[in-house]
Amino acid sequence: MAFVNSAGPAKHQAVAMRSGSDLSVFYRCAFDAYQDTLYAHSNRQFYRECDITGTIDFIFGNAAVVFQSCKIQPRQPLPNQFNTITAQGKKDPNQNTGISIQKCTFSALNSSLTAQTYLGRPWKEYSTTVIMQSEIGAFLNPLGWIEWVSNVDPPSTIFYAEYRNTGPGSNVDKRVKWAGYRPTLTEDQAGKYTVGTFIQGSEWLPDTEVVYDL
pLDDT 10s digits, 106-154: 999 999 899 999 999 999 999 999 999 999 999 999 999 999 999 999 9
Segment 63-90 mean pLDDT:
98
Q: Name the active-site residue from 32, 57, 153, 188.
A: 57
Q: What is the pLDDT of residue 11?
A: 86
Instruction: Report the phi/psi class of residue 103: left, alpha or beta, with left for phi > 0 and alpha for psi in -120 to 50.
Output: left
Q: Containing H/E element for 197?
A: helix 195-198
DSSP classification of residue 35: B
Q: Which of 72, 162, 68 is nearest to 108 (CA)?
A: 72
8 A C-beta contact, residue 56 and residue 37 = no
> Quick one: what percent of the chain has pLDDT higher than 70?
100
Region 189-210: what's the mean pLDDT? 98
pLDDT at residue 38 above 90?
yes
Instruction: Give the SS3 label for residue 108.
Output: coil
193 — pLDDT class (breaks 50, 70, 90): very high
User: CA-CA distance, 46 to 70, in Å (whole number)?
Assistant: 11
pTM for the full model? Answer: 0.97
Annotation marks residue 92 as catalytic: no
Residue partners of 192: CB distance under 8 A and separation at least 6: 198
The end-to-end CA distance of the chain, in Å, is 25
CA separation for the pair 214, 4 (Å, rounded) = 30
